[in-house]
Structure 1
């Protein structure tokens, strides 16, 4: 593909246009604030001493340990935060599921390798300290959107768990949305001015090119009206993973598909709850 074609395939903000993009971002913020207003939880916990990054725990209850959905926000690794990424927390709480939303240091302040390390550290924190906060460390489901979908894929990959003292199956199920699973094309698009990848590093950070280890159940979700690059990546990653299904969500775009997690009647939310219950 030419550089221009790659930009069309992966520049979903331009595809949406400024008005629609701003409306989506306002929904992220408003829905997240509403979701956690009065919700039992433990916000602002430092999960990684090296970086000082924090996470929020939402939707814990007095009925014993709850399965947990760890949601990793998107923003092409350079934007957004946990504060606008908890829009599903109330819905999941009502279904008996807790939500953990970690921040990670944004590029270009750190490398993408460091961002991956931090996200994996957040999962390690849930496994080690979850019980103290009402979370079941044996029932961790990880998901994320866009760049968060890539980071979900890096949590699904094998080989990182043992050095952190974690079981290979610490991630019991996964649901990446509009994920980036092969980063090599991104070395030629605008986002690389911040993440600064070469082909060798891009390959080493690509879930589709890494050994899988334990193949957890997964739903690989992507929007019908997503960027063509994201659609192509999801369709290729699903058979590579080999332990999940591809869900192309109709009438949704790159930014609003993940908001369906706040609607318990949506196919997206039902799919996530199915993964949780299967743990």
Structure 2
């Protein structure tokens, strides 16, 4: 399904989610404050090193249940902003349900390319698998979750050949995923100067970085969600992946009152349909 041809102005407006959400500074501030409270009140292991660079760190929020599944969350920010610590507020809904949570960081663009960021996420997942027993995690039940650029990275990891990457890893390392408001065909970003100034994407690099244009050869059930208040392009990107990977698509969660940012607030709510669906899938894998 080829990306439709629109003007650069159209794509810049469609993908600049912050510009369409005037209250976005207040949302980010609230996330930081709520996440700080979570880190004060909940057990966690912070800034664990999964690689050598400063960006290769993760936070681990353990559940009280031994040998429980692991939900690995990858944050968004157009690969160039935000931090894992901004999203600690998401952890309690899952740890209270008997699921361990890992929050991944990565080096940010323009210092790191999207390809380099993806390599870091591969290292993070390999590290978590190999250290699962140490942290009483069930290595056979690893589920991904990602928001925005993080959903893109999570989808890319779903296509990884893990045993080729590292012979010590199983091909089915990832058992399920939840992809929220992601970008799965990067073609339109060639025309979005507000972000491609940092990403420096080229036509030659698009196909290997677009999971929505790649096959998914393994049975990895995945949940999708996109806010009803999001742009047409974010909605189209989600439909693209749902259709392209239709045999593995588990469920789409309707969020009519959410925008590109407040979808994360829904994810922090243990009673929401989105969070409940992810918990049920993580426990069942």
What TM bracket, shorter-length normalisation?
over 0.9
Q: State whether structure 2 residue 181 is matched by structure 1 residue 172.
A: no
Counterparts of 1:157-196 in structure 2 under 5 Å? 157-165=159-167, 166-189=169-192, 190-196=194-200
User: Is this contact kept in 1: 2:145–2:178, CA < 8 A?
Assistant: yes
Match of 2:3 in 1: none
Match of 1:151 in 2: 153
User: What's the CA shift string for 1:185-217, capped at 9, x where partnerless?
Assistant: 101102100000001202210111123121301
Q: CA RMSD in A?
A: 1.4
User: Is this contact kept in 2: 1:60–1:133, CA < 8 A?
Assistant: no
Compute the displacement of 1:248 (Å).
3.0
Compute the displacement of 1:160 (Å).
4.6
User: Is this contact kept in 2: 1:66–1:98, CA < 8 A?
Assistant: yes
User: Is this contact kept in 1: 2:31–2:89, CA < 8 A?
Assistant: yes
Work out the CA distance in 1 between the residues paired with 2:53 and 2:25.
34
Q: State whether structure 2 residue 105 is matched by structure 1 residue 99.
A: no
Q: Which aligned runs of 4 or more in structure 1 are off by greater than 2 angstroms?
A: 34-38, 49-52, 158-162, 245-248
Q: State whether structure 2 residue 25 is matched by structure 1 residue 22.
A: yes
Q: State whether structure 2 residue 228 is matched by structure 1 residue 229.
A: no
| Long gaps (5+) in structure 1 | none
User: Is this contact kept in 2: 1:73–1:80, CA < 8 A?
Assistant: yes
Match of 2:62 in 1: 59
Match of 1:9 in 2: 14
Work out the CA distance in 2 between the residues paired with 1:53 and 1:143.
18
Work out the CA distance in 1 between the residues paired with 2:19 and 2:112.
25
Compute the displacement of 1:161 (Å).
4.6
Compute the displacement of 1:169 (Å).
1.4
Match of 1:211 in 2: 215
| Long gaps (5+) in structure 2 | 1-5
Work out the CA distance in 2 between the residues paired with 1:198 and 1:41.
40
Work out the CA distance in 2 between the residues paired with 1:188 and 1:205.
16
Please, which of 114, 123, 128 is the counterpart of residue 130 of structure 2? Answer: 128
Compute the displacement of 1:134 (Å).
2.3
Work out the CA distance in 2 between the residues paired with 1:161 and 1:264.
35
Change (3 A) 1:146 1:161: farther
User: Is this contact kept in 2: 1:58–1:99, CA < 8 A?
Assistant: yes
Q: Aligned to 2:131, what secondary structure does the other structure show?
A: helix
User: Is this contact kept in 1: 2:162–2:173, CA < 8 A?
Assistant: no
User: Is this contact kept in 1: 2:162–2:170, CA < 8 A?
Assistant: no
Work out the CA distance in 2 between the residues paired with 1:161 and 1:176.
23
Work out the CA distance in 1 between the residues paired with 2:111 and 2:82.
14
Compute the displacement of 1:143 (Å).
0.7
User: What's the CA shift string for 1:112-155, capped at 9, x where partnerless?
Assistant: 10001111211111110021112221111101110001111111
Change (3 A) 1:41 1:194: same
Using the size of structure 1 for normalisation, the TM-score is 0.94
Work out the CA distance in 2 between the residues paired with 1:215 and 1:49.
32
User: Is this contact kept in 2: 1:156–1:215, CA < 8 A?
Assistant: no
Aligned residue pairs total: 276
Work out the CA distance in 1 between the residues paired with 2:230 and 2:163.
32
User: Is this contact kept in 2: 1:168–1:213, CA < 8 A?
Assistant: no
Compute the displacement of 1:52 (Å).
6.0
